[in-house]
Each structure stands twice: as structure tokens, then as C-alpha cells.
């Protein structure tokens, strides 16, 4: 008798659990699919961010226990001349890379969106620097712009012009980095714009052509406005890429000559792994993260206002 009662209770609990699942499964199933990604993000993104925030309030040389110093790292950053030079260089680098890589990428996409001989081959050529490691591309660019045996200076000598110290002069080193980065980013921008162009209904362009619109008018009034989502995406990604640029800069110039190409990621690396100031480097990294987040939110806000 007692066993029968217990089985009835268990059966009742089972039905209640099944009823609860039937009522809530549509809400819970998305979270079940998201759980693996949330776990990965928590371990490799959120936990490091929290740890970096904690470490930024400490002084640590890597061989002893971290020493709590409060806001001293941030106070020192405010008066750190090298930090302000690195911030200026980062902004200059981003200002040179973002508009030209996006503009040239759009031109390449427009040119390769029509039937031209070797279109597939040309698309591949443009995109190769994107898929190749930035260290490899940086090494290749350093050879091309080498002051002594680079192909650029060899070409200049052939046409009777003097040699240019592309990587060893503070006046030209940043320009060389910007040109090399544009070479890398152009292919990525081209592919994104190509996807956007191929999503534009051909009927719109045909109707505008029948109405007598010129090629420029079709581009200005139809193509470019419909490419707004692609432009917004590329702007966000290029800002993040430009502010996080490290491998190409470190391979080509190492931040020199002097501090002329020292961008924030390079300065963070030097502070941590060359000077052994891990707490200070974490404070620098948090400031960089806040700057990127501020730029991203600003662009998001401006894009939402433009859609109203």
C-alpha cells in the first residue's frame, strides 16, 4: 500500500515537471543553445576583463604578490607623456586607415561587381592579404619598404628619384604603416561591399537608368544609401581593428623610430613584457577598451539617428 502511494507521488511529480517543461520550453531552448557560447565567453572574455580591472589597481612585477595601490596607475597614466604620444599615434593611424581602406574597398567592389575579364582572379588577389597572417604581411611590407634593398626605393632609383627612408624616419614611418594596413584592409572592405552590392535589387537601377539617371546619380541616390548597413559594419570593424593594431606595427617598426609609431597596443605590450609593469599595462588596456567602446557606441548612436 505504501509503495503504491509513493509511486503515485513520483508519477505526480513527473507530470508536474513535464507540464512545466511544456509551458517553458520555448523560452528555455534558446538559452540551452546559447549556454556553450556563454561559457566560452565567460571564461575567455568576461573573467579576463574582471581580472584586468582588479589588476589595474595593483602593482605587480610578475615575481611577487600584487600590491594594492588604488588609482595610482591611472594617475600616472594621466601624466605619462608616452601614453599621450601613443594615443595621438593611434588616432592618427586610425584616421589614415579607416577612410582610405573603406573608400578604396568600395571602388574595388564597384569595379569588380561588373563583368570584367579575370574578375574572380582579381578578387582573389585583393583578398589574399586578409587571409595571410599579419606577421607575414608585415614582414613582406618591411622588405618592400626597406631603406636599402626594398623594391620601392629600387624603383625610385630607376626613375631618377632619391631614396626615401620609409621605416627609419619619423616623418615617413607612420605613413608607411598606414599604406601597408590599407593594403591589408582593402580586400576585406571590398568583399563586404561586394556582398552589399549584390543584394541591391537590379530593378531599382534599371528603373533609374530608364528615367535618365546618370551613373553618378544612380550611385549617389540608390547604391550608396542601400549600402548603409555595410558601411556601418565596416566602420565599426575598422575602428576596432585600427585601435587594436599590434602585430603589423610591431613587425614593421617595433614602435620606432623613437615613439613615432608607438600605438597604444604596442605601448601596452612594452609596459607588460619589457618593463614588467603588469598592473600599469592592465590599466592602459582598460583605457583602450573604454576608448573603443565609446567610439562604437557613438557610431551606433549616430547610425540609429540617421535611420529615423
Alpha helices in 113-222 (DSSP H): 119-131, 134-144, 151-158, 173-198, 202-210, 215-218
Strands 58-59, 67-68: pairing is: antiparallel
Highest averaged pLDDT of the listed ranges 17-31, 95-109, 115-129: 95-109
List every span in the chain annotated with CATH 1.10.3720.10. 73-307
Q: What is the pLDDT of residue 242?
A: 92
Q: What span, in angstroms and rounded, lies between the C-alpha atoms of 177 and 204?
A: 40
Residue, of 162 and 82, whose pLDDT is higher: 82
Mean pLDDT confidence for 48-70 = 89
> Cell for 251?
613587425
Q: What is the pLDDT of residue 84?
A: 95
Query: How many CA atoms lie less than 13 Å away from 287 in the CB half-sphere?
Result: 24
Buried/exposed code over 121-130 (b: 16+ C-beta within 10 A; e: otherwise)? eebeebbebb
What's residue 304's pLDDT? 75
pLDDT for 307 equals 61
> Is residue 161 helix, strand or coil?
coil
Rounded Cα gap, residues 6 and 29, in angstroms? 32
Q: Is 227:196 a contact under the CB 8 Å cutoff? A: yes
Closest CA to 169 of 154, 153, 189, 158: 153
Mean pLDDT throughout 172-192? Answer: 93
Handedness of CA 8, 11, 16, 19 (dihedral sign): negative
Confidence class of residue 131 from pLDDT cuts 50, 70 and 90? Answer: confident
The answer, yes or no, to whether residue 7 has pLDDT greater than 70, is no
Determine the straight-line distance between the first and last CA of the chain, rounded to whole angstroms: 71
Which is more confident, 19 or 199? 199
Round to whole Å and give the CA distance between 233 and 166.
Answer: 32
CB atoms within 10 A of CB 146: 16
pLDDT value for 308: 54
pLDDT at site 305: 67
Contact assessment for residue 248 and residue 180, using Cβ atoms and an 8 Å cutoff? yes
pLDDT tens digits along 250-299: 999 999 888 999 999 999 999 999 889 999 999 999 999 999 999 888 88
pLDDT of amino acid 2:
42
Residue 89: pLDDT band (50, 70, 90) is very high
Instruction: Give the pLDDT score at 4.
Output: 47
State how far Cα 11 lies from the chain centre.
55
Sign of CA dihedral 24, 30, 36, 42: negative
Task: Show Cβ contacts of residue 117 under 8 Å, excluding neighbours closer than 6 positions.
Answer: none
Cβ-based neighbour number of residue 118 at 10 Å: 10
Q: Does domain 73-307 have CATH number 1.10.3720.10?
A: yes
**Distance in angstroms (rounded) separating the CA atoms of residues 263 and 240:** 13
pTM of the model: 0.85
**Average pLDDT estimate for 74-95:** 94
Residue-level pLDDT at 306: 61
pLDDT band at 200 (very low <50, low <70, confident <90, very high): confident
Q: What is the DSSP letter of 64?
A: S
Q: What is the tens place of the pLDDT at every residue in 29-55?
A: 888 888 898 899 899 988 988 999 999
Residue pair 98/238 in contact (Cβ under 8 Å)? The answer is yes
For residue 11, how many C-alpha atoms fall within 13 Å in the half-sphere facing its CB? Answer: 6
What separation in angstroms does the CA of 37 have from each of 30, 31, 51, 293? Answer: 12, 10, 20, 22
68 DSSP 8-state letter: E
pLDDT digits (tens, 9 = 90+) for 210-228: 888 888 888 889 899 999 9
Amino acid at each position: 500500500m505504501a509503495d503504491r502511494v509513493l509511486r503515485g507521488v513520483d508519477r505526480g511529480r513527473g507530470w508536474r515537471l513535464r507540464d512545466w517543461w511544456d509551458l517553458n520550453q520555448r523560452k528555455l531552448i534558446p538559452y540551452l543553445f546559447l549556454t556553450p557560447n556563454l561559457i566560452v565567453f565567460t571564461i575567455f572574455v568576461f573573467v579576463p576583463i574582471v581580472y584586468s580591472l582588479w589588476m589595474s589597481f595593483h602593482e605587480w612585477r610578475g615575481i611577487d604578490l600584487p600590491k594594492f595601490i588604488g588609482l595610482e596607475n591611472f594617475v600616472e597614466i594621466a601624466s605619462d607623456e608616452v601614453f599621450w604620444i601613443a594615443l595621438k599615434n593611434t588616432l592618427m593611424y586610425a584616421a589614415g586607415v579607416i577612410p582610405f581602406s573603406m573608400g578604396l574597398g568600395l571602388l574595388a567592389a564597384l569595379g569588380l561587381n561588373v563583368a570584367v575579364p579575370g574578375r574572380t582572379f582579381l578578387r582573389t588577389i585583393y583578398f589574399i592579404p586578409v587571409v595571410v597572417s599579419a606577421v607575414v604581411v608585415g614582414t613582406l611590407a618591411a622588405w618592400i619598404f626597406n631603406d636599402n634593398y626594398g623594391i620601392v626605393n629600387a624603383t625610385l632609383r630607376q626613375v631618377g628619384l632619391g631614396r626615401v627612408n620609409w621605416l627609419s624616419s619619423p616623418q615617413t614611418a607612420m605613413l608607411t604603416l598606414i599604406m601597408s594596413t590599407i593594403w591589408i584592409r582593402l580586400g576585406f572592405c571590398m568583399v563586404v561591399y561586394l556582398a552589399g552590392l549584390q543584394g541591391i535589387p537590379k530593378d531599382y537601377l534599371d528603373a533609374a537608368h530608364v528615367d535618365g539617371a546618370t551613373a553618378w546619380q544612380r550611385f549617389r541616390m540608390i547604391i550608396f544609401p542601400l549600402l548603409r548597413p555595410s558601411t556601418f559594419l565596416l566602420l565599426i570593424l575598422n575602428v576596432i581593428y585600427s585601435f587594436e593594431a599590434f602585430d603589423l606595427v610591431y613587425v614593421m617598426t617595433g614602435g620606432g623610430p623613437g615613439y613615432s609609431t608607438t600605438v597604444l597596443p604596442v605601448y601596452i605590450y612594452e609596459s607588460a613584457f619589457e618593463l614588467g609593469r603588469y598592473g600599469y599595462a592592465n590599466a592602459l588596456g582598460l583605457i583602450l577598451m573604454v576608448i573603443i567602446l565609446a567610439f562604437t557606441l557613438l557610431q551606433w548612436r549616430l547610425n540609429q539617428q540617421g535611420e529615423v
